Structure 1
Amino acid sequence: MDFQSSLFDRAVTTAVSDGPGVRSLDVAERIRLTRGAWVDVLRNFVMGADDVLERLVADVPWRAERRPMYDRIVDVPRLVHTYVLGEDLPHPLLTTARDALSAHYLPELGEPFVSAGCCFYRDGRDSVAWHGDTIGRGKHLDTMVAIVSFGDPRRLALRPRGGGESTSFEMGHGDLLVMGGSCQRTWEHAVPKVAHAGPRISVQFRPLNVF
């Protein structure tokens, strides 16, 4: 995959000069949604995101999936891989990010983040349809999903289940968005297709048995 990583990291290098690491989650902005849902947003959460992106592109064992749709089998419009409990993550900054998220949200979540689902959006044609992470415990219980984005900015859209006013967030290189409270049960999220976009990888940290 051909990309210019220095273009993606420009916001980090101009805003923060302390070297690779993660920003304090104490400065994340919490945005209250309806029905007990909320999102936390922290720009430039991962500092040194260029190196993480390069490692993700090169080292993750990406796979293409297919799924039934009506009367045919279609390609899933993105590449995927999941690191489960006990597996090493492909970059130490991802381990640092997961540990920081687990420590910060433990009082609310009551458990650590243990898995890391990775999605590779190769260009603007790759996307994910409206959904909530409601396979497993997320179908019945409040939980959290923490998403860190690497690469070209893409819009993450959210809408209430059953109708209501939607909202969206542009996730840039190294940015963090955490969906919490009832968000997985009462809201849906999507990454829509766009006319033009470069490669982008999202890493979704989840607690045990949340998919």
Structure 2
Amino acid sequence: MGTTAKDLLNAPLPSEILKGSNLSTEASRKYIQNMLQQHLPSTDIKYLRNDLQWQFILEQHSLRKKSARRPKKTFLTRQQRKEANLLKLPREGWSYKSLGIIRNMWKDYMRQNLDFIKKAPSPVDPDWNSFSLVVAKSELIGAEIKVIRSKVPSLIGMSGTVVLETKLSFQIVTPQSKLKTILKEMSVFEVILDNLRFVFFGKHLATRPNERSVKKIKLQMIPDL
């Protein structure tokens, strides 16, 4: 039987090629150049000099890219935050006046968020949905909020600057520089920005602030207060 193409493909390299396997890099270059000059057609030899400029890329570069390892992020557990008193604010030592800087920062932040509107749209306007979503997902720390309705009568009329928001409550500093905690579920809140007045039903904000920014917001809700 004659030699087939498959046999030729699977055959070991000729000895005259294998003998150069232990040569240095420079000697290997010269060895391959000489071999190509001997076996290439004369029409291709004139291109040999330019072709050899990129024939040895694999010798200097790895096919496998080395990916830089990102440092693993470490977060404090809730228990660790609790032990370090990071979940509680001090009851004393607050100054309502000094929080004016935070209130102004919040106003600038909200003005930037609502920059795309000229005036507050009505529920029948095309911009109402996007306007409502921006407001509902905005950060409230630094906002001056007021309780306008509540199941706890003593809370009605209470106002202050939000210094901490949790899933179920707001902690505010009142104009009397007192730290107060207000449960969201039981109250309706009012926030005023320039000539805009926002009303929030606390039960609809009963989620963690970091989750509210990505959570799907219901655009139509039935108030119960």
TM-score, with normalisation over the residues of structure 1? 0.26
TM-score, with normalisation over the residues of structure 2? 0.24
Give the structure with the larger helix fraction.
Answer: 2
Give the structure with the larger strand fraction.
Answer: 1
**Greater relative CO, 1 or 2 (CA 8 Å, sep 6+):** 1
